[in-house]
Each structure stands twice: as structure tokens, then as C-alpha cells.
Amino acid sequence: MKSLEKVPVRIFANDSDVSVAVAHRIREIILAKQASGRQAVLGLATGHTPVKVYKELIRMHREEGLDFSNVVTFNLDEYWPIEREALQSYYRWMHENLFDSVNIPAENIHIPRGDVSENEIDQHCRAYEEAIAAAGGIDIQLLGIGRSGHVGFNEPGSRKSSKTRRIHLDVVTRRDAASDFFGEENVPEMAITMGVGSILAARELCLLAFGEHKAPIVKRAVEGDISDSVAASYLQEHPNATIFLDEAAAASLTRMSKPWLVGRCKWDDKLKRSAVIWLSQEIQKPILMLTDEDYSENGLYDLIRECKGSYHLNIDVFRYLMKTITGKPTGENDKQKVLVFSPHPDDDVICMGGSIMRMIERGHEVHIAYMVSGCLSVFDHDVERYAEFVREFGEIFGLPQDSEVIDKQVIQFLRSKKPGHVDTLEVQKIKGLIRRKEAVDAAKFCGLSENQTHFLELPFYNTGKVQKLSISNADVKAVLDILNELQPTVIFAAGDMSDPHGTHRLCLEAVLKAFDEYVAGGNAKPELWLYRGAWQEWSPEQIERAVPMAPDELKKKRYAIFRHQSQKDRAMFPGPYDSREFWQRSEDRNKTTAQTYDSLGLPQYYALEAFVRYPLGRSAQWKDELETVKEE
């Protein structure tokens, strides 16, 4: 198979498998250096991407006795200006996520200082480069990749020869960091970073990328030309660089998205659908109008040869897509007990509000399980407004209350709170209560009663910080308990992997683990359908059920989303990739899906909500298949 990739790429099923593989490579280097009596010099990165690598290193230290006493570390970057103990500082992050849990000598740890004065920056950067050289250079450098293509904080325009320096952060990068700082306005405008030249001087480079939102920039870095507009593209020139991806981040690579353009394919039904749909969109012709010549001229001669012409192939794919269109979200005429898992208290109506209302109208018993409180997504000014309302409401009706407690524990705290500071438990509970009441209000608008709404409060979320805990047995038990209580026949869950803060991914992990336990316990196997969140839609070849919505139905869905007033106009965490409100994203996505179906020659609808099915009765097999490493 010919390849368009200009740097070695390894593709794994998920981020956990990638992280284990990279951690084991780091262990090999540490052990090899120990055997020769030398230090292992590691270049480290921060952020969501490498955190599981560090967890695996910690596990190997605790359970296998991996010794870090010969390790020297150099971190890529740090915000400037920022205090070392600030919640968002990389100094604090590295200690919390690695250094405090392994035995690296304190004097061997190097992180650029975000608290140096401006007139000391140049000298500090020169000293950092000198320290790397004095350690003998970096043996292996971990890297992530930003949406702007940066590695470290080497923004577009960074030269190949650049060294450690202060840099002005690109607006895209600052938006990406907005969630960690509780607002873009709180993100530092500058950072200190190792340069591209400093990075390329490492003897081995490992770049990690996870999630669909990284797929476009990964493709540019791997298959595009080398350019200072995408600093990660410089890895193409390194003699020992490897890019490690999960399937989602690899999705835009040609060998994954259009493998027929790089070599012969094993044509299963899904790949046939992908090719036919791609061709239809590429040349802008409905599926049933595609000809043998269209296929041959666009690299698909092998496909029509295997299918003995385009006629039956076109009809098969067309019929498949037609069968996905249904006005019955449950797919059954009989009354069903439906359980919708909503990661946050508004994902249910944002992602499948039309289908929920359709199921209620058809007489199905629908329940919504809200998995986390969503307290992190409420603005402080909303809490202050509600606190003042409660105080004055009590005064109007002469209700007994302690105004000093409200003023001291809520209002004064919020007015003195610094950006990004963790809320008190009382404030977190108030924010959670705001989200809970909005969710109940939206559910009632859809036609549900309050006893059909359930709030699971999964523990992994309750950190008070953007960074969450890993899924624990307690999280899985909370999901399993609601399954055992309701005994649903149909389940819907958020299946999107592009949630920028990881909550959706963790919630899905909890659902799938609980689902497996539920089925293993001898319960009847429910159907399990996956919907997408606000960041991504299923591609047409993936969709297995498409529920049409008329204009009035889409408007009603919009009004249900509006019931979440704390998320209206400006959400706390809209994600860095889209400035639209959630209701706008939802409507545009539903309309775009309908337009895609129309362009393929299918019936024209105003809007469609899309779902894919989790393989019924084959959960373990399905996961085994996903966990197979895809490598050339």
C-alpha cells in the first residue's frame, strides 16, 4: 500500500492503548540508561493528552518498582506570567500528575518559570537551553499538538531553528485554554516555550493526539507540506519521530478516510458505503445517478469490478440509507421503557430533543438520567443573582433565614474570588441546583414528569476543577443502579468523543461498563443507541437511524434548549472550536444532516437527528475489535 504519510504513524483503538505503549517506551529508555549507569533525560508535555501516560508510569513505579532516580526532566512550556501554585500552572499540574508520585529527585526537574520578571526572561531561556545541553540532550520528547498545529507553544510562524523563548499565544490557542481559566479573558497572552529547534534536537520524538477535533490538523502535519504555519510538520524531517493516534484523531488521514486512494481495499459493507457516499459528494451527483465511469475516474475501479458494475452497488447503498430514515426513534410499535443518559443536564434536549418528544407523543415511557451536576458550567454572577433573590424573597414573606450566612458564604466569596479559583462546596451545590432545576423544567416542557428525571451525580466530576478524575467503581455502580431500577428496553447515550473537556467520554465509559455488568447479570438485553453531542455528527455511512423533524418540531426543540437559561447567550464552556450557541449548533447540525441526505438523492427533510447502534449482545467482542492496533 502506498502512503501519503511523511512521518511514521501508529494508530491505536483508543487513548489508553496509546498511553500504555508510549509509557512502556519511556520505561525501556529509563531501564537502558540505568543498565549503563547513565541518566535518562525526558522531555515532558502537559495538558489532557499525556495524562494517561503519566498514570501508567506511576502505576509501573508503584506496582513494578520502576525506579526514576536516574531521570532528569525538561518540560516544554509554561504560561507567562503565572504563579507556580496557580491552578492552571504547568508547574503545579506536573507535580499533581507525575512528580509527586514518583521518585525523580527534585533537583532533576526542570520547568520553565512563569513567575520570572520580564527583564529576567531572556537569561532564564538561555539558562534553560544550557541545562538541557549540560544533561546531554533529551533522549525522548513527548509532544501534543494544538489546533493551530503548535508543538509546545510554538505558534504559526515559529522557525525551525527557534530556541527556548517567550512567545505570544495565538488566539486559537487561548480559546483552547479558555475552559481551564474559566474564560478566554483570563488566559495569559504569553508563554515561555522550548523552540522548534530545541524539540528537534531530541533523539526521539513521540507526538500524541486524541479525538476527532484533532484529526484535521493531524492530517496537515502528517500529509501536508512542511511549513512554519504548522510547527508539527517539522517532525517530517526528524530521523526518529513517531506520531501516536487513537482512531478518532487518525480519521482524516487518507488511509483511514479514503483507503481506496492509497491501495487495494478489503471491501466490507461499511467501506463500500463510505466509498459510494464519498464519490456522490465528491462529484456532486445523487447515488442512483453514479456511473461506472464516475467510479473508474475517481480511483474506484476495483470496487465496481468486485461488485460487477455500479447499478446494484448504487441501489444497495441507497436502500440502506433509506432504511435508516424512521419516525420511530425506538424502532418499535410496542410501548417501550426508554432511558436516555445525558452527560450534562442539557445534552438530552440539545442532542436528541426532537426524538425525546416524538417518543413521548407515541406513548413510550421515557426517563432521563443526568450523569453529572454541570456545576462547573454556571457563571458566578448567576449564583450571586439567585443568592440575592433568595435573601430578598425571604424578606418579602418574612421567612426565617440567616442573611449573614448567604452574604458571607456566597456573595462575599464570589466577589473576592480570583479567576479559576475552586468554588466552595456551598457554591458548587448552588450551581448544581441551578442546572438541576433547568433540566427538570426542560424535561417538563418535553412532556415528562419530574419523577422521570434522575440525577446520578457521578463522583468523577466532583473535583471543582475542569480536570476530572478517572471513572471508578462508584461511577459505574451509580449507572448500574439506575439500570436495575428502571429495567429499560431501549437506552440512548452520548457517543461523541470530541467533548473538549472529556466529560462525555468518561460518561460513555461508565455507561458501557455498567451495560456489560447489567447484561452479564442475566437481565434482558436493552437496545443501546448512541447520539452525538454539540461538537460532532455521525457521518452518513455510520448513521443507522435518522429521525426526521418538521420546522415546528425543530422550533419546539429550540424552546426546550432555551429552558437552560444559565447556558443561554454565552455558555461557560462552549468549546474552543465554535462560537455559536448550543441551540444554533444543534439546529445547524440537524439541518445539515438532512441536506446531506438530500444531496445523496434521498427524500428531502427539514432536519434529522442521527443515531448509531451499540452492537447488541456483543459488547465485549465490539471492544476487543476496537482495541486491535491498526498498523501498517
Catalytic residue positions, numbered: 155
In this structure, the strands spanning 337-342 and 490-494 are: parallel
Rounded Cα distance between 536 and 611, Å, is: 12
Q: 74-99 as b/e, with b when 16 or more CB fall inside 10 Å?
A: bbbbbbbbbeeebbbbbbbbbbebbb
In this structure, the strands spanning 607-614 and 9-12 are: unpaired
Close Cβ partners of 579 (under 8 Å, ≥ 6 residues apart): none
Rounded Cα distance between 426 and 537, Å, is: 37
- Of 24, 75, 301, nearest in space to 199 by CA: 75
Rounded Cα distance between 100 and 106, Å, is: 10
Q: Are 74 and 44 within 8 A, CB to CB?
A: yes
**313's torsion region: left (phi>0), alpha (psi -120 to 50) or beta?**
alpha
Q: Are 39 and 33 within 8 A, CB to CB?
A: yes
Q: Kindly report the number of other CB atoms within 10 A of residue 599's CB atom.
A: 17
Burial tier of 475 (Cβ tally within 10 Å: 0-12, 13-18, 19+):
buried
Q: Are 371 and 343 within 8 A, CB to CB?
A: yes
The 3-state DSSP class for residue 451 equals: helix
- Of 125, 134, 127, nearest in space to 152 by CA: 125
The count of C-alpha atoms lying within 13 angstroms of the C-alpha of 338, restricted to the half-sphere facing its C-beta, is 28
Residue type, 242: T
Close Cβ partners of 47 (under 8 Å, ≥ 6 residues apart): 144
Q: Are 339 and 491 within 8 A, CB to CB?
A: yes
In this structure, the strands spanning 545-549 and 607-614 are: antiparallel
**531's torsion region: left (phi>0), alpha (psi -120 to 50) or beta?**
beta
126: phi then psi, degrees, rounded to nearest 5:
-65, -40
